[in-house]
Amino acid sequence: MNFPQTNLNADGRISVREKISYGFGDVACNVVFALTMSLSTYFYTDVVGMSAALVGTILLLSRIFDGISDVIVGILVDRTKSRFGKARAWVLWMTVPYGVSAVLLFMVPAHATTVVQGIYVFITYNLAVTFVYTALNLPYGTLAAMMTRNQNERAIINIFRMGMAPVGNMIVTAATLPFINRMGGDQKAWITVTIIYSLIAMVMLLICFFGCKERVHIPATPQNTKIPLKIGFKSMIANKYWWLITVMYFCWAMYVTLNGTMLTYYCKFELGNAELMSVITIVEKLPSIITTIAIAPFIKRFGKRNLSLVGAIISLVGIGITLLNPHSLTFVMIGAALKGIGVGPIGATVFSMMADAIEYGHWRTGIRNEGLLYSAATVGYKIGSGLTASLIGFVLDAAGYDGLAAAQTASAHTAISVLFLIVPIVAWGVLAVVLWVYKLDRDYAGIMQELQLGHYSPKAAISQHS
């Protein structure tokens, strides 16, 4: 099927400076990401004194709204027209709200009733994560698909992103507890540290905004008309690689949430020192950063899918080594290093895979809707993260965990170990299966060649009246 040709030639090389500017965006995003994924649950249970079940319920309900907000923001991005571009504009608009909402997360009324605390956490968590973070991070992720259509350049852009992002995550995760403890360890210390992080993050978001440029300007349909939601969702459902990547996002979210949240608990109660999480985080993140950067020359030769599959296997081996002696710091650190190496290839490629799936969907259906596809896929991430966060809260509460107690019950110790060591095996296993059936790397060059000529799949018969 042939449609009128559009300008598809935004496929030139991107400067290193622009790639670094793009990477700063995710360093900034990882401030709130690390705080909410790795430390907020610990703050609510062990500093504020809220029950793990209440926190889990709040996170579960919040993630339901978060998934809805993803689709809404995706539609808004697709329909955005501004002098700053389609996706890039949102990076600017959300910079100040991002910093303010992050600080509000930790200003829980210390002496209020449980009900008041729960309402406050629900409102501020949804403000920071459901609304502001989504309205920032989703357009930011979409921006990569609008900077270039060159598959290799997109991969390199996302390598800069995922090579730099763990730096922000590592600093926040590794430095926060020691920093806070040196400042007295109370709620005021948490707020002060978050203010510092937020100011730095806001500067980095401005660097991203001013340093990046949108070059891909393609009508959503060949007739340059707005896509009805029904047609947009129909084209999304027809995109098999959207489905696969959505499942990948779900599994990735499970692992990141389990590993980030439970590491603090595991270090405190199974290894005997909560501040060990700083050392273990560095041991895991440094190999991840190095692997993410070093993998760039191998993507074109071996493909994103193959490298990511190897990464999943290495991560499973890392967990297996930790299980050999789970209370030995040496075994835990060796396992963490291997997990970091395994995470690198997936972190370097998973977001550019979605950009590739957008091109596949354009070829497969004749409709291009970056915002909807990216946002709907991140719903998988949000659902995975939300279900996992709530699972953590419910399991800890059922096991008798008490954040203000000096010692925990035997069942609580077991729950902490299972959540940190056993459940991630399931996430990595499913992710590996998905990667095994992913074949877009093989077909991508041919698809792009057809798009350059204005040719679409014979199945691209979706019209506004179908």
Question: Domain boundaries in the chain?
Answer: 16-216+227-452
- 158 and 352 in contact (C-beta within 8 Å)? yes
Min mean pLDDT across 59-63, 221-225, 341-345 is at 221-225
Give me the pLDDT at residue 350, please: 79
Residue 41's pLDDT band (cuts 50, 70, 90): confident
Residue 226's pLDDT band (cuts 50, 70, 90): low
Q: What does the pLDDT look like over 234-243, one tens digit per residue?
A: 777 778 888 8
CATH of span 16-216+227-452? 1.20.1250.20
Across the chain, mean pLDDT equals: 85
Is residue 245 pLDDT above 50, yes or no?
yes
Give me the pLDDT at residue 222, please: 47
Closest CA to 91 of 22, 5, 190: 22
Please state, in angstroms and as integers, the Cα–Cα distance from residue 157 to each residue in 134, 146, 237, 357, following that order: 21, 12, 27, 16
pLDDT, mean of residues 301-328? 94
Give me the pLDDT at residue 223, please: 44
- 134 and 70 in contact (C-beta within 8 Å)? yes
Give me the pLDDT at residue 1, please: 39
Give me the pLDDT at residue 224, please: 47
E strands, 157-235, are none
Q: What does the pLDDT look like over 122-155, one tens digit per residue?
A: 999 999 988 999 899 889 988 887 888 776 787 7
pLDDT, mean of residues 158-186? 84
Give me the pLDDT at residue 227, please: 65
For the chain, percent of residues with pLDDT exceeding 70: 91
Give me the pLDDT at residue 220, please: 47
Instruction: Please give the Cα distance from 63 to 43 (Å, whole number).
Output: 19
